[in-house]
Amino acid sequence: MKRKRRMLVGVLLVVGGVIWFGTHREEKMEVRGNLSAEDLAGIKNAVRSELRREILPDFSLASVKELPATTLRRLQSKILLVEVQNSTNTVIVRIKSSHDPMESFSVINGTNGWHVQRIYWRL
């Protein structure tokens, strides 16, 4: 039992390191509208935090088994577009990875920072 725990902790540390290094890369993105550098950094951090939450949503066996594939998919995700809506308090962020179709998020500037909501499209 101790060996399994050590192995799980080791895997989680490696995955955490890969996530940390993977999220600290520069992205070429299009920004439509006027945003300060501080706002853009806050938006990018909020979206990346939301994506990291999806990597290991809980400690269930299914989540642990999906960890490598989910981690790879999220590390390959890139922010393509940040588009300011009618007010500068709301932006739409579009993300693309090599395995998934384009994803969209609505990011709203609240009193305590930027908050992310996934936009679901019906086709």
Q: Quick count: other Cβ atoms within 10 Å of Cβ 47?
A: 21
Query: What pLDDT, on the 0 to 100 scale, is given for residue 82?
Result: 93
Percent of the chain with pLDDT over 70: 85
Encode pLDDT of 15-38 as tens digits: 777 666 665 556 688 999 988 999
pTM: 0.70
Average pLDDT over residues 75-92: 86
Residues 6+ apart with CB under 8 A from 66: none
